[in-house]
Amino acid sequence: MSSPQEHDQLFGTLSPTPLFFRLAVPSMISMAVTSLYTIADGVFVGHFIGAGALAAVNLVMPLIMMSFALADMLAVGSAVQIAIRLGERREAEASKIFSFACGMILFISLIIGAAAFGLADGLVARLGAQGPVAAMAVEYIQVYAVFSPFIMIFFALDNYLRICGRIRYSMVLNIVISVANIALDALFIAVFGWGIGSAALASCLCLACGTILGLWPFLRGKMALHFVKGRLPLRTIGNIITNGSSEFFANISGSVCMVLFNTALMNLSGYLAVAAFSIVMYVDSIVKSVLFGMSDALQPAISYNYGAADKKRVFALERRVQAAGFLLSLATLLFMFFQGDTLIALFSQEESAELLSLSTRAMQLFALSYLVSWCAVVSSSFFTALNRPFCSLVLSVCHTLVFPVLFLAILPNIWGLDGIWLTSLFAGSCTAVLAAGLIIWVVYQLKREPAAPHVSVTKKGVSADAAAS
C-alpha cells in the first residue's frame, strides 16, 4: 500500500464487515501463531527441564515485559498518530513520526538491554528466587537483554506494517518466526540439552531475523511510510507519549501485578503453585494475543476514519470488534473449563501429579474470567484509536493493577489458593462495568462533535458514507 488512494479504498470505503475480516483475521492468526513460540518455550522447558525452570521463567517474565514498556508506548502512540495523519492526508508528517519513533525505540532498547544484563542478579534476588531457580532466571533474562534492540523494534514494526496495509506480509512473517522458534526449541532443549538459556536464545534469534525482514519493505522506499530526516514539534511528541501511555502503564502495572501474584503463590504454596500459574498464563497468552491482535488490527482503520471525521463508520467497526471479542472469549471459557487438562499435560513431566492437579484447578477457576475480561482489551484499544489516552489509561491501569491488587488482598484470606485463581474474575467484572461507563461517555462526546464531510472515491465511485452502513 503506497498511496493515499489505496489507504482510502481499504480503510475509508470497504464495508465494515468485510473490512473487519480483512484486517482482523490475518492479525488474529498472526498473533495466535506468534504466541506459539512462547507456548513452545513453556512446553519444552516444563517437559524437558522441569517445574523449577518453568517457575523461573514465570518469575522473570514480568521484568522482561517491564523492560519493553517504553518501546511499546512509543510504538502504539506513534501508530495512532500516523494513522490519523494518513486519514488527514498528511503523509509527510506521518513519515516523520514513523522515523522519530523507530530512532527512539532503538535508543531506549540499548539502554534498557545494558541495564537489564548488569542488574539481573539483583533483580532476581529481590523476587525471592533462590538456588537453582534463581540461577536459571538470571540466565534467561540476560539472553533477552542482549537481544533487546531487535525484539523491541520487531514488535513496533508489526504496527507499522499493518498501517501500510502489509497485513499478509506481517502474518506470514510472524508464522515463519514462530515455526522457526519451535524448531530451534526442539533442537536446543530436546536434542542438545542446552538448558533454560537456550529457550530464550531460540526466541531471540528468530525475532532478530524477523526485525531484518520487517525492516526490508520500508528500506526499499515503496511504502506509505519511509525513513526521513526532520524534527517533530514538541506537541506531536507529547501526543505520542500521551496516547501510548495507556500501553506503558498497562505493561508496568500488569508486570507489577504478576510479581505480586507470584509472591503470594510462593508464600501460600511454594514454587509448584507458581509453575501452575505459569501454565495458565501460557494458555491465557494465546487468547489475549488473539484479542489484542484483533483490536490492534482495527486501530488503524478506526483512527483513519476518526481523522476523516466519519463517525458512523467508526461506530460500525467498533461494534464488530466488541461482538467478536465476546464470542472468542466465550469459546475460550468453554474449552479451558472442560478440556484444559489436555493442554496442561504438555507442560508437566509424568511424575508431576501435584503440578497437574494444581494447574487443572487453577485453569478451571481462571477460565471464568473470560466472561468479562475481553471488555477491557477491546475497549482500551478503541479509546487509544480515538486519541482518548486518559480513558484508555484509566481502564488499563484498573484492569491490570488496581482491581487485581484489591481482590488479591481480599480473596486469598477467604478461599485460600482458590481466591488467587478467582481474582481475575472479580477484577474483570469491575473493569467491565468501568469500560461500559467510559464507552457511553466517549460515544456521547463523539456525537456532539461537528461532523466534517469526507467523501472518498473508489474505483466504482462509491462514497465513504455509503460504505459505512
pLDDT value, residue 327:
93
Instruction: Give the Cβ contact number of residue 418 at 10 Å.
Output: 14
Among 419, 398, 397, 400, CA closest to 410: 419
**Residue reference for cell 488512494:** 5
Question: What value does the mean pLDDT take over residues 341-357?
Answer: 72
pLDDT for 110 beyond 70: yes
Q: Among 62-66, 212-216, 418-422, which is the least confidently predicted range?
A: 62-66
- 160 pLDDT band, cuts 50/70/90, is confident
Question: What value does the mean pLDDT take over residues 59-76?
Answer: 81
Distance, in Å, from the CA atom of 425 to the CA atom of 216, rounded to the nearest integer, reads 43
pLDDT for 393 beyond 50: yes
- 440 pLDDT band, cuts 50/70/90, is very high
- Helix, strand, coil shares of the chain, percent, nearest 5, are 85, 0, 15
pLDDT for 465 beyond 50: no
Q: What is the largest CA-CA distance in the chain?
A: 69
Among 22, 13, 21, CA closest to 467: 13
- 342 pLDDT band, cuts 50/70/90, is confident
3-class DSSP string for 199-230:
HHHHHHHHHHHHHHHHHHHHHCCCCCCCCCCC
Among 207, 185, 127, 173, CA closest to 33: 173
pLDDT value, residue 7:
55
pLDDT value, residue 352:
66
Distance, in Å, from the CA atom of 404 to the CA atom of 425, rounded to the nearest integer, reads 9
User: What's the pLDDT tens digit per position in 292-335?
Assistant: 888 888 888 898 888 888 888 999 999 999 999 999 999 989 98
- 26 pLDDT band, cuts 50/70/90, is confident
Output 316 or 250, whichever has higher pLDDT. Answer: 316
185 Cβ contact partners less than 8 Å away, ≥ 6 residues apart: 37, 40, 41, 43, 44, 198, 199, 202
Question: What value does the mean pLDDT take over residues 49-63?
Answer: 81
User: What's the pLDDT tens digit per position in 166-215?
Assistant: 878 888 888 898 889 889 989 999 888 888 889 889 989 999 999 999 99
Tell me if 78 sits within 8 A of 100, measured CB to CB. Answer: yes
| Cα-based distances in Å from 256 to 123, 279, 455 | 13, 19, 46
- 350 pLDDT band, cuts 50/70/90, is low
Question: What value does the mean pLDDT take over residues 5-11?
Answer: 61
Question: What value does the mean pLDDT take over residues 348-364?
Answer: 77
Q: Which residues of 93-107 are buried (b: 16+ CB within 10 A; e: fewer)?
A: bbbbbbbbbbebbee
Percent of the chain exceeding pLDDT 90 equals 24
| Helix runs in 270-388, H state only | 271-307, 311-347, 353-367, 374-385
pLDDT value, residue 12:
67
Question: What value does the mean pLDDT take over residues 55-72?
Answer: 80
Output 244 or 148, whichever has higher pLDDT. Answer: 148
pLDDT for 77 beyond 50: yes
pLDDT value, residue 457:
34
pLDDT for 468 beyond 70: no
* End-to-end Cα separation, the chain, in angstroms: 25
pLDDT value, residue 382:
92
3-class DSSP string for 98-148:
HHHHHHHHHHHHHHHHHHHHHHHHHHHHHCCCCHHHHHHHHHHHHHHHHCH
DSSP-assigned letter for residue 257: H
pLDDT value, residue 464:
35
Cell of 184: 530451534
pLDDT value, residue 454:
43
pLDDT for 5 beyond 60: no
pLDDT for 417 beyond 70: yes
Cell of 32: 495466535
pLDDT value, residue 466:
34
Tell me if 55 sits within 8 A of 348, measured CB to CB. Answer: no
Cell of 406: 484489591
**Residue reference for cell 484486517:** 23
User: What's the pLDDT tens digit per position in 287-299?
Assistant: 888 888 888 888 8
Q: Give the type of residue at 467.
A: A
**Residue reference for cell 484492569:** 399
Among 456, 385, 452, 469, CA closest to 6: 456
pLDDT value, residue 436:
94
Question: What value does the mean pLDDT take over residues 24-52?
Answer: 79
Mean confidence (pLDDT) of the chain: 83
**Residue reference for cell 473490512:** 19
pLDDT for 155 beyond 70: yes
